[in-house]
Chain A
Amino acid sequence: MTNELIDRLTSDLKPIPLRALEKRIWLALAIGLFATILVGPLVLDLLVGRPFGGAWGNSMFWSKLAYTMGLGSLGLIAVPALSRPDQSRIWPLLLASALAVLALIVGTLGWMQSDWAMPVLMGGTAMVCPWLIIVTSAPLLAVLLSVMRRFAPSSPTMAGLAAGLLSGGFGAATYAFYCGETSMMFMATWYSLGVALTALMGAIIGRYLLRW
């Protein structure tokens, strides 16, 4: 019986290109990012009524972009290793948490200077911000997880978490183009929450979808 299986597998052998896993991740990232960028004009602008470039020209826009891209890049560093059975790379996830804590500290200091004024924390969109970040990230997360089904993560949950961090980071970066908020505390709280929820979603879906 095992011999039959060996026959079958041998006749099904196709060459695997070098760095095949990384190439698949990059392809998924390109397709998913394209879909996520489309959410901008189609959902955020037309449906929610957010014009492109709400915080354009404000230095805070660049901070938001750097923060979210940083989180997404840390996810991207973690995904390949966590997609293999014999490796695990947790430090990018820990570093992402540390980055969020740092943003919260800086944000709190700014909030303190403005005498704990509520609008600094809540802005005008605090209640929708995390949800819109999840919506913006969802296409990227979907493409990424469906590609990762072909991988063999030692821990499907951790692999899903990393994919969620990647998607949440880059999704939030896309969202930043349609967001008019200009407070550090706002970003540190609500952007972080949006990315964290996306990562959590990735972990929960990954736990079931990435099993092998």
Chain B
Amino acid sequence: MQADATEKRMRELMLAALDGDAAAYRRLLAELTRYLRPWFARRLSPSHASHAEDLVQETLLALHTKRSTYDRSRPFTAWLHAVAHHKFVDHVRRHAIRPTVQLDDDAPIFAFDDSAHAADRRDVDAVLTEVPERTADLIRQTRIEGASIAEAAARHGMSETAAKVSIHRGLKSLMNRFAGGSK
């Protein structure tokens, strides 16, 4: 359903852009940038991560110069995916890069975008203001960033047991506040 909504929105923007609507075109390009950047970054090895921005620009440029090859009766995301894939293969060949994409990470372009993660992070930040600062930091370190309780406790100069109790109390109070109490 998510993909359908994206397709519908993108296609409407593209159709408006093809009719000469500059505002819609700008929105389309800006939104595509948010999807394309992480998509390219995921399929480049970390040492080539800086190429992602070039690839985004090459893809936007190709979209612009080749936009007459988009068939209005067909899905826009499929067309864009083909253009981006072509640019990626071309870039990799030209720079003799070995792409390192995990098979299970071969998600389509419109599966992730930068801003969704940003929105999630903002939500977490907002929720954690409800508990004391030190507890919030302990929860963030152990539950989100993946530190062990011992590491997090050491960073705050407290014992492991105290950290455990603090995290437990913090989560419990958040549960009462947002999830209608623990069951």
Interface residues of A (CB under 8 A from B): 1-2, 5-6, 9-16, 18, 20-21, 24, 83-87, 150-152, 154, 212
Contacts and interface: CB of A to CB of B under 8 A. Distances in A.
B79 A86 contact: yes
Contact of B68 (A10, A12, A20): A20
A16 B71 CA distance: 11
A89 to B, nearest CB: 12
Interface stretch (B57-65, B99-107, B126-134, B138-146): B57-65
Given A1-B53, A85-B83, A21 B29 contact: no
A10 B25 contact: yes
A9 B66 CA distance: 12
B72 A154 contact: no
A5 B78 CA distance: 23
B66 A212 contact: yes
B56 A16 contact: no
B173 interface: no
Interface in B5-64: 17-20, 22, 25-26, 29-30, 33, 53, 56-57, 60-62, 64
Given A15-B18, A21-B68, A86-B74, A2 B53 contact: yes
A150 B57 contact: no
Given A9-B61, A10-B25, A16-B19, 15 more contacts: A1-B57, A6-B33, A9-B29, A10-B29, A14-B20, A18-B72, A21-B71, A84-B69, A85-B82, A86-B81, A87-B71, A152-B62, A152-B69, A152-B86, A154-B86
